[in-house]
Amino acid sequence: MKKKIIAYNRVEKPVLEKLQQSYDARFFQNADTKHDPAFLTALREAEGIIGLDLPVDADLLAHAHKLKVISNVSVGYDNLDLDAMSRHGVMGTNTPGVLDDTVADAIFGILIAAARRIPELDQFVKNGKWQSAAIDNDHFGHNVHHKTLGIIGMGRIGKAIAKRGYFGFDMPILYHTRSPKPDAEEAFAAEYCSLETLLQESDFVCLMAPLTPETEGLIGKREFQLMKSSAIFINGSRGPTVIEQDLVDALKNNDITAAGLDVFSQEPVEPDHPLLNMTQVVTTPHIGSSTHETEEKMSELAAKNLESGLNGEKPVNLINPEAWKF
Ligand SMILES: NC(=O)C1=CN([C@@H]2O[C@H](COP(=O)(O)OP(=O)(O)OC[C@H]3O[C@@H](n4cnc5c(N)ncnc54)[C@H](OP(=O)(O)O)[C@@H]3O)[C@@H](O)[C@H]2O)C=CC1
Ligand SMILES: O=CC(=O)O
Segment (H or E) for 313: none
Closest-CA residue to 92 (of 70, 62, 63): 70
pTM value is: 0.98
Residue 175's DSSP bridge partners are 151, 192
Q: Is 75 in the pocket of ligand 2 (CB under 6 A)?
A: yes
Closest-CA residue to 77 (of 91, 88, 64): 91
Cis peptide before 180 (omega within 30 of 0): no
CA of 75 to the centre of ligand 2 (A): 5
Can you tell me the ipTM of this complex? Answer: 0.99
pLDDT at position 124 is: 97
Q: Is 236 in the pocket of ligand 2 (CB under 6 A)?
A: no
Q: Is 157 in the pocket of ligand 1 (CB under 6 A)?
A: yes
CA of 77 to the centre of ligand 2 (A): 8
Task: Tell me the pLDDT tens digit for each residue of 71-120.
Answer: 999 999 999 999 999 999 999 999 999 999 999 999 999 999 999 999 99
Q: Is 88 in the pocket of ligand 1 (CB under 6 A)?
A: no
Query: Please, what is the average pLDDT of the chain?
Result: 97
Q: Give the nearest ligand 1 atom to 103 CA.
A: 48
pLDDT at position 325 is: 77
User: Range(s) for CATH 3.40.50.720 in the chain?
Assistant: 4-96+293-323, 100-283
CA of 208 to the centre of ligand 1 (A): 5
Ligand 1, atom 19, residue with closest C-alpha: 155
Longest Cα–Cα distance of the chain, Å, equals: 72
Residue 322: what are its φ and ψ, rounded to 5°?
-60, -25
Ligand 2, atom 4, residue with closest C-alpha: 74
Per the annotation, the verdict on 267 as an active-site residue is yes
Q: What angle do CA 192, 258, 118 make, to 5 degrees?
A: 110
Position 11 pLDDT exceeds 80: yes
Residues 53-77 have a mean pLDDT of 97
Position 326 pLDDT exceeds 70: no
Q: How far apart are CA 84 and CA 100, in angstroms?
A: 29
- DSSP readout, 142-182? ---TTS-EEEE--SHHHHHHHHIIIIIH---EEEE-SS--H
Q: Is 51 in the pocket of ligand 2 (CB under 6 A)?
A: no
Give domain 100-283's CATH architecture: 3-Layer(aba) Sandwich (3.40)
Q: Which residues contact 10 (CB under 8 A, 6 or more apart)?
A: 51, 52, 73, 295, 299
Q: Is 164 in the pocket of ligand 1 (CB under 6 A)?
A: no
Query: What dotted CATH number matches 4-96+293-323?
Result: 3.40.50.720
Residues 132-156 have a mean pLDDT of 97
Residue 259's DSSP bridge partners are 233, 281
Cα torsion 208, 176, 97, 285 to 10°: value is: 10
Q: Strand, coil or helix: what is 260?
A: strand
Task: Tell me the pLDDT tens digit for each residue of 213-255.
Answer: 999 999 999 999 999 999 999 999 999 999 999 999 999 999 9
Q: Give the nearest ligand 1 atom to 77 CA.
A: 43
